[in-house]
Amino acid sequence: RVVVPRMLSQGLLLHTQPAKHNNQPMDFPCIDKLETRQRDLLSGPEPTYDKIVTGYKTYTHPQFTCDHGGQLSQMRIAYETWGQLNAQKSNAILIHTGLSGSSHARSHELNKSAGWWEKFIGPGLAIDTDKFFVICTNVIGGCYGSTGPSSFDESGARYATSFPLLTINDMVRAQFHLLDHLGIGKLHASVGASMGGMQSLCAAALHSERVGRLVTISA
């Protein structure tokens, strides 16, 4: 048996409006933080300085053979420097970058944007540019000025997926070619974090006679 409400049986419809509430939006800081992190990741590996197109110098080395047998008809390495090299060329510190790092570790006259180690490199800071000549390179394969997959090969086409397989050794050997070009026989220190820490260890292993001190972080 179906019971029909009296109002409906008389053809009357009762329309009600939903009640308005005064609930305030809830905060979900963990979700907001995750969304912010995702936006940072999507904007590039270096969100605040991912358009490094000026301010670095380059050194070009002739044919470079990689550990796994790949060949680069020429190898270009981008680098930036801070401080002054002394007459004995004994005060140089080489900064090795992480996987996605450019050579722009600190701001300078040619690029005034803050670098990724802005608070650690500079006059009176942990890596004191009043005392040391500081060099930072973009590793080969890095594409922030150094030869990488986006570079052109000898045929005029981009390397793209034909770019040779690289090792940490390759990256460090390229950096020491730069040191040779700068006339630096021995580093005061080799410093790096993450993949840069791997490079600093490798530098000391490959060229122990040319590395005075070793600083490796989270390698």
pLDDT per residue over 161-184, tens digit each? 999 999 999 999 999 999 999 999
Provide the strand spans (E) within the chain: 57-65, 71-82, 92-96, 121-122, 127-128, 133-138, 189-193, 214-217
Percent of the chain with pLDDT over 90: 65
Q: Convert the pLDDT of each residue in 32-55 to its tens digit.
A: 666 666 666 555 444 344 455 678
pLDDT at position 2, please?
Answer: 52
What is the crossing angle of helices 168-182 and 195-206, to 10°? Answer: 60
Q: Is the pLDDT of residue 206 over 80?
A: yes
Q: Which residue has the higher pLDDT, 148 or 8?
A: 148
What confidence tier does 65 reach under pLDDT thresholds 50, 70, 90? very high
Structure tokens at 20: 């308005």
- Higher per-residue confidence, 182 vs 12: 182
16-29 pLDDT per residue, tens: 554 444 445 556 66
Q: Is the CB of residue 105 less than 8 Å from the CB of residue 192?
A: no
